[in-house]
Amino acid sequence: MKAILFITGLILLSTGCQRVEYYVDHPGYPTLREAEIVYYGAPEVDGCGWLINVDDQLYHPEALDESLKTDNLKVRIDYILTREIFRCGRGGVSYKTIRILKVEELNRKKEVGILQDTRWNKLKMDPFRMDSVLVDGDTLRLKVSYSGGCREHTFNLWKLPPNALVPPTPELLLDHNANEDMCEAWLTRWLAFSLKPIRVNGKNEVTFLMRGSPEMSAYFGKFVYSW
C-alpha cells in the first residue's frame, strides 16, 4: 500500500530559514525504483523535453543533470513527488513534477533481435526518417527523426530472416511504435543497439545491409561489424 507522507524540510538561507513542504507518494521512503529517461522533443516546438518513466507513469524532473540527458537511459532513482504540475506540448499536456534525490545508471543496452518468419506482422512500422548509421565497436548507432512529442516512441532493431542473395547477407531493420502520438513536433534522437547477436562463430567480422525508413524501398547502406 502506498505510503502518503508529508515531509517538512528546513532550508537554511543567508537571511534565515524557509519552510518547504513536499508531498511524497511512493511505497516506502527512501526507495530506489527502476526508471527510464526519455526525450519528448524541445518544448519550444511543442515538445515536452526530458521526462522520466516510472512504472509506466511519466513525470517531469524538477532538475536533471546534463550527464543523464540520454534518451532511453535506464536508471534507478529515489525521488519525492512535489506539488508542481508541468504543462507542455500541443493542448497543454500535464505531468506531475518529481525531485530526484538519488540516481544510479543501469547501463542496459538494447540488442539486435532475431526476427522469425512468423513474427513479421508483429513489427510496428510507424513513419520515421533514418538520418545516419554508424558502427561504433560492438554498438550500432542510428540517428532518426520523426514527428510527435506527446507520447513515448519505441524503436527495436531486428535481424531479418535470410534473404534471396547468394550468399545471403544479413539484413537489419528498425521498427518504430509511435503509440498513436498525434503531436507534430519534429524530433531527432540517437539510438544505440548491441550488435553482438549477429556475430558468426569462427569469423571476426560480418557485413550487413541496413534497411532504410519504412517508406523507402532501397537499403540505407552496407556496413561492416568487426570484433
Q: pLDDT tens digit string along 140-188?
A: 989 999 999 888 888 999 998 887 676 788 999 999 999 899 888 898 8
Q: Is 33's pLDDT higher than 70?
A: yes
- The percent of residues above 90 in pLDDT, for the chain, comes to 36
For residues 84 and 121, membership in a common domain is answered with no
Q: Is 28's pLDDT higher than 90?
A: no
Which residues, 6 or more positions from 48, have their beta carbon under 8 angstroms from its beta carbon? 40, 41, 60, 86, 88, 89, 93, 95, 149, 150
Angstrom distance (rounded) from CA 201 to CA 214: 31
For residues 157 and 123, membership in a common domain is answered with yes
Cell of 167: 550468399
pTM of the model as a whole:
0.56
- pLDDT bracket for residue 21 (50, 70, 90): very low
For residues 50 and 86, membership in a common domain is answered with yes
Q: Is 29's pLDDT higher than 60?
A: no
Give residue 138's domain range: 110-226
Mean pLDDT of the chain: 81
Instruction: Determine contact, residues 81/60, Cβ cutoff 8 Å.
Output: no
pLDDT for 118 equals 66
**CATH number for the domain harbouring residue 149:** 2.60.40.2370
pLDDT for 31 equals 63
Over range 91-98, report the average pLDDT: 91
For residues 217 and 114, membership in a common domain is answered with yes
For residues 35 and 63, membership in a common domain is answered with yes
For residues 98 and 42, membership in a common domain is answered with yes
For residues 15 and 85, membership in a common domain is answered with yes
For residues 81 and 189, membership in a common domain is answered with no
How far are the Cα atoms of 89, 99, 125, 202 from residue 188, in angstroms, in the given order?
Answer: 16, 27, 17, 38
Give the chain's domain count: 2
For residues 213 and 121, membership in a common domain is answered with yes
Instruction: Determine contact, residues 87/93, Cβ cutoff 8 Å.
Output: yes
Q: Which of 70, 90, 105 is the last residue of a domain?
A: 105
For residues 124 and 205, membership in a common domain is answered with yes
For residues 71 and 153, membership in a common domain is answered with no
Q: Is 13's pLDDT higher than 50?
A: no
